[in-house]
């Protein structure tokens, strides 16, 4: 039996040629060594720069890619026709690609987000209509603690596609109100009262100076727009209290706010 195996091995060596076999072995060994060294280097580089959940799979992916490439090259050196394998691999890859499209998309988005760094853990951000604090960023999703206490998981693909407002890296924000005054109101007087309220409020910044203007008149009344700046971390405090102060002061000064109104004219039968 042993003699048979030896004879077969010799036959193979004769058929393929010993040099081709050695070449294939050399390619495989070389790819293993290169793959190991390169993946090690990438792992060290990535661990210092990327989160561990990205760094480790990345280095493994590099290692496996190089080893698979080496294996295919070795096979081709041995005379194996790779076209069938490539076609089969291509079809399988296509099917797998369709199946794993979302996963891969989220993965790649996670990597791109990491490099883009539109926010970090702890930042207050707005994604679409969702406002909250970023609690965790993983390779597939981002978790946001909304201001109402709920935890929102957003896939990284969606985060990547969305418009993101990062509220963390700003010093000052503008509070905006639109106040509709009743028709016939002395607008100049009303603006003066609002300005006084803003000037007396220590949390409203003196610079950039507040802006109060009347951009339009509607059916309901005269619209007055108020733009006032405050520090970013006091924005919510100011936004929730300033309008009440303005309204109370206008009320005290006899300025009436508009109530929605419609003029209804009833025609007599003869007019019809």
Partner 1 sequence: MVFGVPFEELEAGGYVLRVRRVEEDVVFYSRLEGEKEVFKASLDPLLSIYLVPVEPFLNPRKDLVECVYLRLDPPITVRAGGSFVHKTFVPVDYAVVAQRSGEDLRVVDSFVSREMTPKMALYGVPTNGYICRFFHAGNFLEFKPHLAPISIYINNRTERVVIVRNVVIPLQELTVFYKPGTWVSYAAPIAMNIESETVAEISRVTAEPPSADFERSPELLRRSVDIVELGRDFIGLKELVKFRMVWGY
Q: Would you tell me which residues interact with partner 1 (CB under 8 A)?
A: 169-173, 199-208, 229, 231-234
Check if the beta carbon of residue 125 is closer than 8 Å to that of residue 164.
yes
Cβ neighbours around 10 below 10 Å, total = 11
- The nearest distance, CB 48 to partner 1, in angstroms, is 20
Nearest to partner 1 of 66, 242 (CB atom): 242
CB of 271 to partner 1, least distance (A): 59
Of 81 and 207, CB closest to partner 1: 207
CA separation (Å) from 144 to 52, 135, 151, 156? 20, 5, 6, 12
Question: Which C-beta is closer to partner 1: that of 55 or that of 226?
Answer: 226
166: which strand partners? 125
**Minimum gap (Å) between residue 202 Cβ and partner 1:** 4
φ, ψ at 95 (rounded to 5°): -65, -45
- Is residue 164 within 8 A of residue 154, CB to CB? The reply is no
Nearest alpha-carbon partner for 104 in 68, 157, 42, 53: 157
Contacts of 179 (CB under 8 A, 6+ apart): 194, 223, 224, 225, 226, 243, 246, 247, 250, 257
**Measured from the CB atom, is 214 or 233 closer to partner 1?**
233
Structure-block tokens of residue 241: 């209290």
In angstroms, the CA 36 to CA 22 distance is 21
160: tokens are 């990547």
Min separation Cβ 173 and partner 1, Å? 7
Complex with partner 1: residue 181 or 226, whichever CB lies closer:
226
Closer residue to partner 1 in complex, CB, 200/261: 200
Instruction: Give least dist CB 247 to partner 1, A.
Output: 20
What's the closest the beta carbon of residue 171 comes to partner 1, in angstroms?
Answer: 5
């Amino acid at each position: 039996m042993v003699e048979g195996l030896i004879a077969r091995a010799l036959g193979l060596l004769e058929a393929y040629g010993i040099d081709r076999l050695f070449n294939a072995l050399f390619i495989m060994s070389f790819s293993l060594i290169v793959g190991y060294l390169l993946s090690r280097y990438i792992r060290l580089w990535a661990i210092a720069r990327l989160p561990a959940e990205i760094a480790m799979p990345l280095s493994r992916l590099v290692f496996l890619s190089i080893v698979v490439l080496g294996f295919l090259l070795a096979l081709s050196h041995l005379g194996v026709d790779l076209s069938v394998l490539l076609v089969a691999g291509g079809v399988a890859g296509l099917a797998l690609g369709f199946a794993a499209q979302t996963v891969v998309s989220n993965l790649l988005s996670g990597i791109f987000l990491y490099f883009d760094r539109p926010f970090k853990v702890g930042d207050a951000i707005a994604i679409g209509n969702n406002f909250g604090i970023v609690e965790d960023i993983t390779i597939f999703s981002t978790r946001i603690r909304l201001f109402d206490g709920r935890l929102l998981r957003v896939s990284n693909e969606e985060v990547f596609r969305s418009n993101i407002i990062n509220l963390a890296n700003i010093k000052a924000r503008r509070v905006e109100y639109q106040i509709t005054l009743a028709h016939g109101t002395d607008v100049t007087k009303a603006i003066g009262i609002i300005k006084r309220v803003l000037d007396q409020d220590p949390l409203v910044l003196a610079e950039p100076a507040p802006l109060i203007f009347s951009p339009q008149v509607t059916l309901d009344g005269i619209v007055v727009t108020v733009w006032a700046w405050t520090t970013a971390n006091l924005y919510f405090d100011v936004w929730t209290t300033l309008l009440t102060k303005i309204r109370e002061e206008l009320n005290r000064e006899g300025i009436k706010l508009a109530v929605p109104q419609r003029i209804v004219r009833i025609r007599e039968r003869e007019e019809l």
